[in-house]
Amino acid sequence: MTLSVDLFFSFRSPFSYLALPKTLKLVEEYDLSVNLRPVYPLAVRVPGFFKRTNPKFISYVILDSTRVAQYEGIPFRFPKPDPIVQDRTTFEVATEQPYIHRLARLGAWAQLEGRALDFTYAIARVLWDGSVAPWNEGDHLARAAGKAGFDLAAMDAAISADADRYEQVITENEKDHAASGHWGVPTFVFENEPFFGQDRIDLLLWRMQGKGLAKRRPG
């Protein structure tokens, strides 16, 4: 029996990116479906979050995500440019957010197609693995999407034609994320139980094995 788990994901979150390789390995090895559901980052979801949080929050995230990447052997560098348009001194978040709106809506498109995990991994690597900068110029995203079997131009066109449809998908994702029992990303939700963070994947696996999760049969 195939088990299913939701994964609430943000394209700005380093730990969301760092969770992807192990998540893909789970899907490869086990009879498991991962429903990746994009949400907007805290900077957009919770206005003023970075103004209220402890100033050490950002520096610790940078430190911890960098060493997690080193420990796991995952290519890693913070995206250039930042997917969120935000003043680094005042932490003021701009009203217009062209990067993260596009990324999240593309993720929503792929979610509706049932292929969000594969699409997100292809795109997230362009942002986070340090191989290109700036990631938003040229054909970096289009080439990555194409290699994963997606037509980025067609996706962008569909979103431009009906942006509200994809915004509604994101809104529903955020509603269900909030109802799951956690606010951060990545959050995995299995049978209404949240598992927050890339460092909870082993615990998630243990829980699913207790519910009958089996390895895939060869071939």
Rounded CA separation 53/68 (Å): 22
- Return the amino acid letter for 133: A
The full set of domain ranges for the chain reads: 3-210
Note if the pTM is more than 0.85.
yes
Nearest residue to 49 (alpha-carbon basis) of 93, 12, 98: 93
Transcribe 18-35 into DSSP letters: HHHHHHHHHHHHBSEEEE
pLDDT tens for residues 16-28? 999 999 999 999 9
Q: Decide: 110 and 150 in contact? Cβ < 8 Å.
A: yes
- Residue 219 has a pLDDT of 66
Domain 3-210: give its CATH architecture. Answer: 3-Layer(aba) Sandwich (3.40)
Rounded CA separation 160/202 (Å): 39
Long-range own/partner contacts, residues 142-149 (CB < 8 A, 24 or more apart): 145/119, 147/122, 148/118, 148/119, 148/121, 148/122, 149/115, 149/118
pLDDT tens for residues 100-146? 999 999 999 999 999 999 999 999 999 999 999 999 999 999 999 99
Phi, psi values for residue 94, rounded to 5°: -65, 150
| Mean pLDDT of all residues in 46-72 | 92
